Amino acid sequence: MFRPLLPVLLLLAPILASCGENATSDIAVNDVWARASVTDTGAAYARIENRGGADDTLIEALSPVAERVEIHDMTMEGMVMKMRKLDALPVEAGETVTLAPGGKHIMLIGLHGPIEEGASVPLTLVFEKAGRIETEAPVRAAGQGGR
Ligand SMILES: [Cu+2]
C-alpha cells in the first residue's frame, strides 16, 4: 500500500508544501522533513514561524502514516537525554520555533510501514488560532543529524 502511493505523493509534494504558506495565516511552516525509519517509530521536524501580532500554540500534529502523533521535547536528565511529551507548543508573536534533531520534534508512533528516503510523509499541524496547516515532509536518511 505504501509503494503505489509514492509517485503520487512526490508529484503532490510541491503543491501541498506550498499550502503551508497560507496567505491568510500568520503561521508559516517551513523546512519540514521526516527522518527515514525502518522501525515502528519515526520523527518529523520543521521550522514554525509566527509572523503575526498574536501568540499562537501548536496543539496537535496528525499524520496518516502513524497510529499516533505526539509533540515531543528532549531534555537532559543528568547525563541522559530523555524525550518528553508536550501537550502544546507555544509559538509567540514574532517568534520562530525550530523542531530539529536533539530538540523538539514530532514523534510518529506506530508507523504503518517503513518511511523511506525519497518518499514524503503528509503532516498536519493544528494551531489554536491558525487552525490546520497541511504539509508534506520529504524523508531524509536516518544518519543526517542523528536524533
Ligand atoms: Cu520523541
pLDDT at 76: 87
Residue 102 falls inside a structural domain: yes
Q: How far is the CA of 17 from the centre of ligand 1 (A)?
A: 23
pLDDT class for 54, splitting at 50, 70, 90?
A: very high
Run of H or E residues at 3: helix 2-19
The boundaries of the domain holding residue 116 are: 2-140
Quickly list DSSP for 91-132.
Answer: E-TT-EEEE-TTS-EEEEEEESS-B-TT-EEEEEEEETTTEE
> The whole model's pTM is what?
0.79
Residue 33: pLDDT over 70: yes
CATH number at 84 reads 2.60.40.1890
Phi, psi of 103 (to 5 degrees): -135, -140
Q: Does residue 71 form part of some domain?
A: yes
**Number of domains composing the chain:** 1
> Using one digit for the tens of pLDDT, what is the confidence trace for 97-117?
999 999 999 999 999 999 999
CA of 12 to the centre of ligand 1 (A): 27
Q: How far is the CA of 53 from the centre of ligand 1 (A)?
A: 30
CA 86 to chain CA centroid, Å, is 14
In a domain, 145, yes or no: no
